[in-house]
Chain A
Amino acid sequence: DTGVSQDPRHKITKRGQNVTFRCDPISEHNRLYWYRQTLGQGPEFLTYFQNEAQLEKSRLLSDRFSAERPKGSFSTLEIQRTEQGDSAMYLCASSPTYGIWYGYTFGSGTRLTVV
């Protein structure tokens, strides 16, 4: 198991374009989380999945954001009509439901720059 993988590592896009990020969690982890981290700040929760079900979404997740986790494996985060304010690091993390005591395993993140 190679941990949590995120792709791409970096993405530069023009304002108004759509972008999609992928996260592959640790295979035995049934919980998957998306966080957003702006420069010099701590990560902020966006949404999480228990298997394939999206159980909670932050108010930070506007209508332009959508996340999926088909079949409870990998997840995608899509941002439509990107804005400059979307520029950030998007972090994915996974955890088991039981054993959350051990904390999450984070991926290396996808850094989005909207120009």
Chain B
Amino acid sequence: AQTVTQSQPEMSVQEAETVTLSCTYDTSESNYYLFWYKQPPSRQMILVIRQEAYKQQNATENRFSVNFQKAAKSFSLKISDSQLGDTAMYFCAFMKVPPNAGNMLTFGGGTRLMVKP
């Protein structure tokens, strides 16, 4: 079974600054996907960024980037130029592949990020 751990229950950052959210995971699988999801207050969860385990290059989506360290089983999220709209719960999630694995997500416990003006 997989486990995902987010060791920072809460974080805060000043608007326009950079913040990094940590995530570690444990698995015996060699191929998998990793995701960061954002859940704003009282709103639905949306995908922020994704990474395939066999790709060494770190994923980047605009102001969001990851630092994927496969050997260390670490998958941190960096948010640059933080905006007030980034205030949300952030969840790290793991998915086994291939498709017939069911593709269930295993989530971490979340990090509550507050961006301060």
Q: Decide: B102 and A107 in contact? CB cutoff 8 A.
A: no
Please name all residues of chain B whose beta carbon is closer than 8 Å to the beta carbon of A97 when the two chains form the complex: 99
Asked if B64 is at the interface (CB within 8 A of a chain A CB), the reply is no
Q: Decide: B104 and A33 in contact? CB cutoff 8 A.
A: yes
The residue in chain A whose Cβ has the minimal distance to the Cβ of B33 is A101
Q: How many residues of A contact B (CB 8 A)?
A: 27
Asked if B105 is at the interface (CB within 8 A of a chain A CB), the reply is yes
- Interface membership of chain A positions 4-39, coded 1 if the CB is closer than 8 angstroms to chain B and 0 otherwise: 100000000000000000000000000101010000
- Which residues of B (73-102) have their CB < 8 Å from a CB of A? 91, 93, 95, 97, 99, 102
Q: Decide: B50 and A103 in contact? CB cutoff 8 A.
A: yes
Asked if B46 is at the interface (CB within 8 A of a chain A CB), the reply is yes
Q: Decide: A109 and B103 in contact? CB cutoff 8 A.
A: no
Interface residues, chain A, CB within 8 Å of chain B? 3-4, 31, 33, 35, 40-45, 48, 55-56, 91, 95, 97-98, 100-104, 106-109
Q: Give the 6 A-B residue pairs with the shortest CB-CB distance, closest first.
A: A42-B107, A106-B45, A103-B47, A108-B44, A45-B104, A100-B103
